[in-house]
Amino acid sequence: MLPGRVVWRDADSCDVQVGDRRDRVSLLMSPEVEVGDWVLVNAGTVARRLDAEQAAAMRLAFAQVYGPAQ
């Protein structure tokens, strides 16, 4: 699970951008998510909202192990 940024949303779904990839995911478990929020996605659903510091720390850790997100 890489942190991604919400770039679009409607009533029950949103688009999450991770690197060059953009996926439409469900907001069923996290209806409070807004455009601009950092989130973790699991099985096509926003599992958790992150603050900017959490997202940056996770992205840095993943980049150190796996390289930059594509």
pLDDT tens for 37-66 read 999 999 999 999 999 999 999 989 988 898
Whole-model pTM?
0.86
Dihedrals phi, psi of 19, to nearest 5 degrees: 60, -125
A 10 A CB-CB count for 30 gives 19
Q: What pLDDT is stored for residue 63 in this prediction?
A: 86
Q: Is 25 helix (H, G, I), strand (E, B) or coil?
A: strand
